[in-house]
Amino acid sequence: MSSTHERVKKRREYLTMKGAAYIGIAIGLAMIVDWVTKFIRAVTHLSLFWNHLITGRVHSHVFVLLFSMLIFLVGMTAVTIICFGGVVRHLALKAKQLPYVPPVTADTLPAEEVLVRGSEQPTQEQGKVLLRGTDGSGGAGEQELLRSSQGQE
C-alpha cells in the first residue's frame, strides 16, 4: 500500500505546485492590468485638462502637476510591466515544466493493491463459524442466532 500512498502524495504535491504557479500568474496579471488601467485613466484626465488649459479654464501650474503625475505613472507602469511580466513568465515556465502526475484511481492501481470480492457462496463450514456466539459459550444455538438476526431486520 505504500506505493499508492507515495503516488497520492506526489499527486498532491504536483497539484499544490501547479496551483501556486497559477495563482502567482493571476496576481501578476492583475497587477499589470491595474497599472495599465491607472495609466489610461491618467491619460484621459490629462487630455480633459489639456482642453481646459487651451480654453483658459485652468491654470498652467495645475497642468504641469498633472503632467508630472502622468510621467510618474508612465514610469510605474513600465516598471510594473517589466517586473510582474518577468514573474508571470517565470511562473508560467515553471508550471509548464512540472512533470505531469496522473490522478490515483482504481483503474491506475496495480493488481496487487486492488481488493476483489469473491463471487462464490461461502462453504458450509464458514457458515457455522459465522453463526457461533461471541462469548464462546455454546448456550445459544444456531437457529436462535438466526432468528434473532432476522427479527432485527
pLDDT tens for 59-111 read 777 778 877 888 888 888 899 899 999 999 999 999 999 999 988 887 777 77
For the chain, give every domain's residue range. 2-108
Residue 51: what pLDDT?
77
CA distance 8 to 143: 47
Q: For the chain, how many helices (H) and strands (E)?
A: 4, 0
Pick the most confident of 1-5, 79-83, 110-114, 126-130.
79-83
CA distance 113 to 97: 31
- Among candidates 88, 69, 75, 72, which has minimal Cα distance to 31? 88
**Overall average pLDDT of the 16-32 stretch:** 95
Give the ranges where 56-141 is alpha helix by DSSP (H).
60-97, 124-130
- Among candidates 133, 128, 129, 153, which has minimal Cα distance to 145? 133
In the chain, the percentage of residues whose pLDDT exceeds 90 is 33
Residue 90: what pLDDT?
95
